[in-house]
Amino acid sequence: MKYLLCFCLFGVLFLNFRDEKTDEQLIGTWTLVSVFKDSINVTDTHDPFDERYIRFSPQGSFQSDGRPFSCNSGDWTISESGSILKLRSTVDYDNGAWMIRMQGDRMEWKGIGTAVKEGFLLCFERQLEKDQNP
């Protein structure tokens, strides 16, 4: 019984543990690699010029750009669990929440909260900043 109680307590602590590095991992510039809508690859429609990006600042602001969409900016926050990214944008249709998963220099966003966003999966890769290049 004592072991079961310890195991349950450890489980609760583990589930509530927030990866404090999520905010730090997000900071920087990410280039859009692919876009899926309802499991269909729509990257050619959403990034036909292969130039879309989003840049996150440590102060909680972001900027995105790339044709065929115009420049966008706003604020970002991460949930306590580190798995939900919320964007408050100057462009209404870009407001929303995304379930994110980060692995090294790759990041995936799965739309949540609205029927339109829920169908999307976006994949990004970290872009090395000029001062990080050898």
Q: Where are the domains of the chain?
A: 20-127
- Other residues' Cβ atoms within 10 Å of the Cβ of residue 98: 21
Average pLDDT along the chain: 83
The confidence score (pLDDT) of residue 45 equals 95
User: Which pLDDT tens digit goes with each residue over 101-113?
Assistant: 999 999 999 999 9
Closest alpha carbon to 94 in 69, 59, 125: 69
Give the global pTM. Answer: 0.78
Closest alpha carbon to 126 in 104, 98, 109, 110: 104
The domain defined by 20-127 carries CATH number 2.40.128.270: yes
Instruction: Kindly give the parts of the chain with pLDDT less than 70.
Output: 1-21, 129-134
The confidence score (pLDDT) of residue 116 equals 85
